[in-house]
Amino acid sequence: MARLILFNKPFGVLSQFTDKGTEGSPRATLSDYIDMPGVYPAGRLDRDSEGLLVLTDDGKLQARIANPRHKMEKTYLVQVEGLPDEVALDALRGGVTLKDGLTRPARVRRIDPPTLWLRTPPVRYRKSVPDCWIEITISEGRHRQVRRMTAHVGHPTLRLVRWRIGDWLLEGLASGEWKQVSAPDAR
């Protein structure tokens, strides 16, 4: 039976178990939080992003979660600079052209500020520039894709929290916590 871990990755933690090439580095890794040999992340989450990271010891399941050809949806709660209008949101919904090509259409909506853990360090606030939260669901996972998409429509990301991968939700996990759950059949 495959092992499957849901982990709420804190801000500043690398999505890997070692920080190769920087011996003695103070950067936090998964090994600072998870002591379960043989499991590996199914996909990545940037160091400056937070939220749901799935780990497993099943290579087929890992590929199904991480490989964009399987179109597994990922939902993010995103605090953006400014107040995106419907034109900006519609651009995200239709797909935007980034340096590496057109993104797949996304599901996007404005949301009320979610109840989340405090982030260390906190997001910088500017009195003269408003911000708001959006929920964005994508079915691919390019390098820093959500950040690049929001910047493309004129609303840089201030905070990014992955909330859902497929049917797995972050709900109930505090920052830095993990739990083992039943793994689906990866065939």
9-55, pLDDT tens digit by residue?
Answer: 999 999 988 877 566 667 889 999 999 889 999 988 999 999 999 99
Domain 1-71+167-187 has CATH 3.30.70.580: yes
Selecting among 32, 35, 46, 112, the annotated active-site residue is: 46
pLDDT in tens, 129-185: 899 999 999 998 888 999 999 999 999 999 999 999 999 999 899 999 999 998 776
Domains 1-71+167-187 and 73-165 share a fold: yes
Q: Does domain 73-165 correspond to CATH entry 3.40.50.2000?
A: no
Is 35 among the residues known to form the active site? no
Instruction: Enumerate the domain spans of the chain.
Output: 1-71+167-187, 73-165
End-to-end CA distance of the chain: 13
How far apart CA 55 and CA 4 sit, in angstroms, is 6
Alpha helices per DSSP H over the chain: 59-66, 86-94, 145-152
